[in-house]
Structure 1
């Protein structure tokens, strides 16, 4: 068990990602996405990444629009109320620049769960009777990528089995484990040795973090390990599974971080409206990523007033300044 110093800058942590790596993320659509790391991936011009997620959101749209992603395996992408569609994904798919493999939401959860517990597959009946299981929609197979040449791509999209225990009728679907090279998680707190604490909804964070070979944790704050371990039931991931930790306040913006700040819906809606064309995306990325030296400069560009409006009240755990229920 190593107690080496795992603290890094965002730039140093992203350097751990190599071109062609498979990656996954913490959070859910527009909540607790590691946006500071996503912007840095774009700055470092990573290429041919293989994105494997339960679902995707603004972070995925940015990586895809920037040309960082070659293969996308998921069940959905969009911005919830602030942009229903993944316009960048659609554009790259239509142009042939992106390979998209579609699974159901349940399938993706089970794939990461299998990877997390170290088994090659898990059984389910989810999506029986749907075209999710139609062999003609095995896109990775059609591209000749299921020959075993890539260790993170299973040799079959699905397989089937009969119940050997109770003799129940019908097929059982076997979904292959997902084993990403890297998971990048944004959390509220991490101990200075790497113990991870997630507040509020945890989504499929534990599965994503445990399934990956390398785990990078970006936190709102790094706290003393002896303090975070005083309440072990509040912690999600032990320190020995974590490879790198980064302290970056507001590091999930424009997505939200429960107890710290709200989703910046206006920012996401503006991104969605401006990036429906490649020219629009390139202009947006130039302004908000490429011409901004680092994430702290990005926060400065946003301005204190905007961030303060999003800041959560410490008692309510949500902002009392954000208007709700109106467009």
Structure 2
């Protein structure tokens, strides 16, 4: 049965108020901005955002008032520095106060891995002696039952929904992702449900021709959305490059709450669909970001 839905319908069905949502899991590439913008347009509230570095999508959701809690390693603008909306929320409770549970990139991966295994926690020596181990009250200090050495127990973290942007998927949610995977696999296996957003929808035969590239099991997938350019301004390897200028413009314009609201009205609330967003970018900008030099992997022989 096909799981194809529009972005509007996928977010309406599977991202309710109060949901814990994992996003931006491949680190800098394949950030599902189109999904995040639809969450903002539908006015979701009291969300918990889960992820590693997150980049400006978390900042946008925070500035739009969608977020109650952050469980992440970092929130900001990778190439520019501060996330102004995140800073206003943490320092001034604008547009609302948020709760932050600090992780490292490693421990957020461990927390999701634990949930994917059905384990209550994963022990580690990472972070021992750091401020993170003291500040995040969900971490527990323990001793190894084998030699008594100190350990830190990282509790399992299960998102209600993980949203992944991928290069291609079939209609059932068997999806190929290549390049940086980050912690996409851990988050997909940990989540109760998964929304796949794909640059291309392809046949099952294309997917099964390269099974090792499948990011995770399709039975976890509740919806598949076909959304070309759905990760802009982040990069999607083999499809388009990172739009560095877009990040710079966002950083400059969102220094004030008024500036952020103007940016949000222009780039999110004033655009009903991703197609309108693409049209606003314009053909010249899209052409400049498109792939200039193809670098294909060597063929893989799955025969016997």
In the TM superposition, residue 85 of structure 1 has moved relative to its aligned partner by 1.4
1:162 maps to which residue?
143
**Structure 2 matches for 1:35-54, cutoff 5 A?**
35-54=33-52
2:67 maps to which residue?
69
In the TM superposition, residue 280 of structure 1 has moved relative to its aligned partner by 0.8
CA RMSD after TM alignment: 1.4
Distance in 1, matches of 2:62 and 2:4, equals: 28
> Which stretches in structure 2 are left out of the alignment for 5+ residues?
297-304
Contact map agreement 1:20 1:47 (CA 8 A) in 2: yes
**Structure 2 matches for 1:109-128, cutoff 5 A?**
109-128=109-128
Residue 230 of structure 2 is aligned to residue 233 of structure 1: no
1:255 maps to which residue?
234
**Structure 2 matches for 1:80-159, cutoff 5 A?**
80-81=78-79, 83-96=80-93, 97-134=97-134, 137-138=135-136, 157-159=138-140
Compared with structure 1, are the counterparts of its residues 87 and 26 closer, same or farther at alpha carbon in structure 2 (3 Å cutoff)?
Answer: closer
Q: Secondary structure at the match of 2:280?
A: helix
Deviations 1:150-199 (A, max 9, x none): xxxxxx5112322223x1x4211110011010111100011121101101
Q: Secondary structure at the match of 1:284?
A: helix
Contact map agreement 2:29 2:180 (CA 8 A) in 1: no
Contact map agreement 1:29 1:80 (CA 8 A) in 2: no
Distance in 1, matches of 2:295 and 2:104, equals: 35
Residue correspondences, number: 292
Q: Secondary structure at the match of 2:215?
A: strand
Contact map agreement 2:111 2:156 (CA 8 A) in 1: yes
Instruction: State the TM-score, normalizing by the size of structure 1.
Output: 0.86
2:163 maps to which residue?
184
Of residues 56, 59, 71, the one that matches 2:57 is 59
Distance in 1, matches of 2:37 and 2:45, equals: 14
Q: Secondary structure at the match of 2:247?
A: helix
Residue 289 of structure 2 is aligned to residue 310 of structure 1: yes
Q: Secondary structure at the match of 1:80?
A: coil
Distance in 1, matches of 2:243 and 2:25, equals: 15
In the TM superposition, residue 253 of structure 1 has moved relative to its aligned partner by 0.4
> Which stretches in structure 1 are left out of the alignment for 5+ residues?
139-155, 318-327
Q: Secondary structure at the match of 1:172?
A: strand
Distance in 2, matches of 1:177 and 1:267, equals: 35
In the TM superposition, residue 293 of structure 1 has moved relative to its aligned partner by 1.4
